[in-house]
A and B are shown apart, each in its own frame.
Chain A
Amino acid sequence: METPAIKLTGLKKRYGTGDAAVDALKGVDMTVWPGEVVGLIGPSGSGKSTLLKCLGAVIEPTAGRMELAGEVIYDDAWRIPDLRALRRDRIGFVFQAPYLIPFLDVTDNVALLPMLAGRDNAAARKHALELLTALDVRHRAGAQVSQLSGGEQQRVAIARSLANHAPVILADEPTAPLDSERALTVVRILNDMARQYRTAIIVVTHDEKIIPTFRRIYQIRDGRTHEVAGEGRAL
């Protein structure tokens, strides 16, 4: 049987202490399989960003258990000593805005991640060009970030998230600044990449345009997740 890319069991997060304590996550259960794109939806303040930050090893949960590609990374405490290396090597991030590094060209924005992991510059750039080709922005490889359109920037950001062959990609509102057509293109690309690289992708979104495209959706409400079946509309 295949190992889940992400498995969360009873994940909790409490901010503050005493009377001021707020339980942002009250016991989240979630399983995401390699190669699938899962939607995470919920109203503002429901805990989406908190869950994303816990998954991204940016903030520490209060309790529960997190497994990443079969390895326990959190079990009431971090089980991985170097969280920065964990993020670098095993988690990809796509943000609401592309947040590319403006002083690097397109290729080096993608190649930066493997270079940070200690890979040879030439090999990192070669792999970056392969990803840019797969995302149909190879022709902008030498361009500066400021010369790209919003859609192109988002594709480069997706290429960056894939650069280290991470088993999990966390996408935070990746289509928010895009029009319908471009938003659906980005979702199609995410689905293609998930299939091609067997990567599990969690997409946090409010975007009504793309919600129908997910086969599985986790709805988060009052700090708890509820799995709902998505429409899985063809792209």
Chain B
Amino acid sequence: MINLASRDVLHGWGKFLFTGIGLGLLIGATLTMAGVFRGMVDDGQVLIDNSGADLWVVQQGTLGPYAEPSSLRDDVWRGIAGIRGVAETGNAAYLTIQMAHAGKDTRVMIVGIEVDRPNRPGAPPYLTAGRPILQGHYEAIADEKAGIKLGERVKIRRHDYTVVGLARRMVSSSGDPMIFVPLKDAQEIQFLKDNDALVNERARTAANPAFNRPGVPGLLEAAQASATQARNVNAVLVRLVPGADADSVADEIQRWKRLTSYTRAQMEDILVAKLIATSAKQIGMFLAILAVVTAAIVAFIIYTMTLAKVREIAVLKLIGAKNRTIAAMILQQALALGVIGFLVGRIAAGLWGPAFPKYVLLLPQDAIGGFAIVLTICALASSVAIRAALAIDPAEAIGG
């Protein structure tokens, strides 16, 4: 038996192909939306993976350091380092800022890390170019996405930093590129006030009789020195000894140090389930709407194509074609349209994905799932046209 669907498609292949391309662009947009969601999840995942930590110790009762603000004194690591199961600790400060670079504003996450020895938790696990930070001040490692070249000097707040190393996929949970600087510098950037604010603060302190008592020499100086020191960090990252139970160590830290401690699984839950929950719902809504729009468009296209063949279908029925022959023709055309649309959509998403400001991750399993959904939508959408075709009266082929 001749395949009527393929003959019909080949007869008007240009129209069919352009229809498929149009549908493909819509499917491409849908796949990209899914890719954006996957990218957000992946950003959160690489943030956790690249930190090299097994536990995140943060201010009590907060979801810090990524989902909520958290502030700890920078010496709490000493008590944590003594707990059984802890191999290494590293103070970390995180701050997202808008940085001017190459004539445009770039949003970056400044990460303060301890640079006294390599591979401290929080430091980038590998570099694509350059070297680790060796000096205690004014050196930086930048993610490639920031667009900063090796050896370039960049101004961050009040100081210039020399970029000594480049890293890849070191991004915040929002996808902003990270710039690693020595912890002290990050503390300054985050917690130190500007000169005018310091002058004002000193004047206020001096005017406060509680701090400026004539009978207590040195009190005012001590109070003012305290106000100008930056001794806080956002989190202490903890690496455990091999075989240590993360939950037990986390419980230990919480119980004895009055801090909150998250394991890797808990941090994944915070970053993936909580931090991007609203965005995920938003994208889910878009995906649902796009799926409905795709179904409606496929149904409309196939229905229109079928109505354009009323006479031919009436003749086919009159000369004895079975209903299933006609239904198969319409179904196969709908599926062919879906296949063309999906291929075009996948290629389009792959081409325009890298141009998106946020990371678009197109996973093979999403492509397979998307393909199955597209075929299902096409099959369901063709049912409208099949119903119309089966309702065509063969008598329409005979005049009168």
Contacts and interface: CB of A to CB of B under 8 A. Distances in A.
Interface in A143-187: 144, 160, 172-173
A116 B321 CA distance: 6
A95 interface: yes
Interface in A94-117: 95-96, 99, 101-104, 108, 111-113, 115-117
A49 B11 contact: no
Contacts of A49: 398-400
Contact of B319 (A50, A59, A88, A103): A88
A88 B394 CA distance: 12
A101 B315 contact: yes
Given A101-B312, A115-B1, A115-B2, A172 B319 contact: no
B8 interface: yes
Interface in A106-130: 108, 111-113, 115-117, 121
B399 A84 contact: no
Of listed B8, B11, B320, B394, residue having the most chain A CB within 10 A: B320
Contacts of A50: 400
A108 B7 contact: yes
B12 interface: yes
Interface in B302-356: 311-312, 315-322, 325
Contacts of A88: 319-321
A99 B311 contact: yes
Nearest to B315: A99
B319 A116 contact: yes
Contacts of B316: 101
Contacts of A121: 1-2
B8 A103 contact: yes
Nearest to B9: A103
Contact of B398 (A95, A101, A115, A160): A95
B317 to A, nearest CB: 7
Contact of A93 (B8, B12, B397): B397
A56 B312 CA distance: 17
B2 A84 contact: no
A52 interface: yes
B319 A52 contact: no
A58 B320 contact: no
Contacts of B277: none
The secondary-structure label for the interface of chain B is helix
Nearest to B323: A84
B398 A113 contact: no
B394 A85 contact: no
A102 B11 contact: yes
Contacts of A56: 318, 398
B11 A58 contact: no
A195 interface: no
Given A50-B400, A53-B398, A99-B311, A84 B322 contact: yes
A100 to B, nearest CB: 8
Given A53-B395, A87-B320, A103 B12 contact: yes
B198 interface: no
A50 B394 CA distance: 13
Of listed A56, A84, A103, A121, residue having the most chain B CB within 10 A: A103
B11 A52 contact: no
Contacts of B315: 95, 99, 101
B11 A103 contact: yes
Nearest to B6: A103
Contacts of B321: 84, 88, 116
Interface of B: 1-2, 4, 7-8, 10-12, 311-312, 315-322, 325, 393-395, 397-400
14 contacts: A52-B400, A53-B395, A58-B318, A87-B318, A87-B319, A93-B319, A99-B311, A102-B11, A103-B4, A103-B10, A112-B2, A115-B1, A172-B398, A173-B399
Interface of A: 48-50, 52-53, 56, 58-59, 84-85, 87-89, 93, 95-96, 99, 101-104, 108, 111-113, 115-117, 121, 144, 160, 172-173
Nearest first, the 4 A-B pairs at minimum CB distance are: A88-B320, A49-B400, A103-B11, A103-B8
